[in-house]
Amino acid sequence: MKKLTRRKALKGMLSGGAVTVALPLLDCFLNDSGTALAAGAPMPVRFGTWGYGLGGTSSIMVPKKIGADYDLPEEIASWARVRDHINFYSNTTAHMDASPNNNHFTGWVVGRCGIAPSGGIPSETIDTTIANRIGKTTRYMSLTATATGDVTNTYSYVNKVTPNPAEWSPLKFYTRLFGPDFQDPNAPSFTPDPRVMVRKSVLSGVMDQTQTLLKTVGSEDRQRIDQYFTGLRQLENQFAQRLTKPEPIASCIAPGQAPVDPPMNKEVATVQLRHRMMTELMVMAVACDQTRVFNMAFSAAFSALVKPGFPQPYHTCTHEDPIDPDLGYQPNSSWFTRRTMESWADFVEAFTKVKEGDGTLLDNVLIYATTDVGNARTHAVDDMPVFTAGRAGGKLKSGLHIDLKGASPTVVGYTALRLMGVDVPSWGTLSNQTSEVFNEVLV
């Protein structure tokens, strides 16, 4: 085959007819090492979170071996395919200080805000902090989804009163990401839409109105209107991007077909299926650089997942399932934990299926996973597991089990913040405050 130069390829594409199929990215678009786009920008490191409810049972969840090549106890046996991509940080404690233990809330809020809540959400969550740092140049500052079909199942907050509502329908999510407004970076032709130009122009009038309104409202409302203004800026950014020919991206292959939504119920099998569908879309959104921050909630803190024919939903089960005297744990409750861990493995694995540069997409992400309690049965907020996945662009070791010996999960969160370029001297408050990066996991 004749050698194809980048110039020839582009010239051919631009002068040729508009073909609407996405082309695979040719090697000539990459630099010699294949790790960066030809424009010279390195593959960015992206940040994600994964959340689930009800912890697990330490005796059959936490590896016995510390460090690399850790063992996989029953509840995480499904990790075999992805173990070396995951760090398991066991034995973290959400320090409550003077705050009450708000069941199903305190644990994950400490993990995501660094603050023990005394009422509602005390601050923006970690993903928002990172999105403010790395998310402003992409089409979406962040994407938030859930597998439960419930828009309110989110662990991501823009501020104290504004959750990032979760995408819950694969079809709606697909349409938002890859519907008519998606700009395929590898499309052979590019024609800016004049209607988008006009839309972008009229937004300035809406922004002016917003500024006028800001002068007339009280301080609390001003925060909310200001945040609305930030949304307008993001919208303006989206319009601007649609008017600019995007750089080709090797790993971006938009799904060709709209998915069909699974039934609206919380049966574990349905939730796992919905999770896989949402994950696939999320992964491709990241690969196509539509966002650099993403959040997935597999289940709510008060998880209501159900096992067909079994009368107790997951949360009820953690309270009512008797401990089997032979096994030494709650078998039905553990059944739910195992299914949850399978889905976590699915999530991690999905990022390995996209090739990016010398490795996979997972090498260039950092995923931070939290739950609301340690022990499922007692709902205690000590002995809580935290996971990370990915190598953060080669800066983070993976495949390790670390016993944090009762430290706050903020140790992991703060390390993630610093790895993502958020240059803050510390994170968290009171006993959850930390200013130490956890060097043991850094390359």
Binding map of another protein across residues 236-275, x = CB under 8 A, - = no contact: --x-------------------------xxxx--------
Q: Cα separations (Å) of 400 from 47, 67, 82, 85, 311?
A: 19, 5, 12, 9, 38
Q: Which is nearer to another protein, 74 or 226 (CB)?
A: 226
Among 211, 244, 426, 435, binds another protein (CB under 8 A): 211
Q: Across the chain, how many H-helices and E-strands are there?
A: 10, 12
Q: Cα separations (Å) of 266 from 124, 163, 300?
A: 28, 22, 11
Under rule CB under 8 A, residue 176 binds another protein: yes
Among 28, 73, 133, 165, binds another protein (CB under 8 A): 165
The length of the chain is 443
Bridge partners (DSSP) of residue 157 are 163
Among 322, 326, 423, 439, binds another protein (CB under 8 A): 322
Dihedral sign computed on CA atoms, order 336, 340, 343, 345: negative
In what helix (H) or strand (E) does residue 384 lie, and over which residues does it extend? strand 384-389
Smallest distance, another protein to C-beta of residue 224, A: 5
Among 306, 350, 367, 412, binds another protein (CB under 8 A): 306
Among 330, 415, 429, 434, binds another protein (CB under 8 A): 330
Q: Which is nearer to another protein, 40 or 119 (CB)?
A: 119
Query: Rounded to whole angstroms, how far apart are CA atoms 282 and 291?
Result: 9
Site for another protein in 129-158 (CB under 8 A): 140-141, 143-144, 148-152, 158
Q: Which is nearer to another protein, 164 or 343 (CB)?
A: 164
Q: Which is nearer to another protein, 29 or 174 (CB)?
A: 174
Region binding another protein by CB under 8 A among candidate stretches 108-116, 193-201, 273-281, 426-434: 193-201
Under rule CB under 8 A, residue 395 binds another protein: no
Smallest distance, another protein to C-beta of residue 403, A: 23
- Which amino acid is located at 169 in the chain? S
Among 27, 71, 84, 208, binds another protein (CB under 8 A): 208
Smallest distance, another protein to C-beta of residue 335, A: 14
For 304-321, letters b (16+ CB in 10 Å) and e give bbbbeeeebbbbebbeeb
Under rule CB under 8 A, residue 319 binds another protein: yes
Among 23, 60, 72, 213, binds another protein (CB under 8 A): 213
Query: Rounded to whole angstroms, how far apart are CA atoms 370 and 89?
Result: 10
Under rule CB under 8 A, residue 52 binds another protein: no
Strands 384-389 and 86-92, how do they pair?
antiparallel
Smallest distance, another protein to C-beta of residue 399, A: 33
Region binding another protein by CB under 8 A among candidate stretches 81-89, 252-260, 313-321, 405-413: 313-321
Break the chain down into helix, strand, coil percent, rounded to 5.
40, 15, 45
Query: Rounded to whole angstroms, how far apart are CA atoms 165 and 408?
Result: 27
Largest CA distance in the chain: 74
Q: What's the number of CA atoms in the CB half-sphere (13 Å) around residue 285?
A: 30
Under rule CB under 8 A, residue 164 binds another protein: yes
Binding map of another protein across residues 347-376, x = CB under 8 A, - = no contact: ------------------------------
Binding map of another protein across residues 375-394, x = CB under 8 A, - = no contact: --xxxxx-------------
Region binding another protein by CB under 8 A among candidate stretches 49-57, 194-202, 350-358, 406-414: 194-202
Q: Binding residues for another protein, how many (CB under 8 A)?
A: 84
208 burial type by CB count under 10 A (0-12 exposed, 13-18 middle, 19+ buried): exposed
Among 40, 256, 308, 425, binds another protein (CB under 8 A): 308
Please, which residues have CB within 8 angstroms of residue 307's CB and are 6 or more apart in sequence?
Answer: 267, 268, 332, 335, 336
Q: Which is nearer to another protein, 374 or 409 (CB)?
A: 374
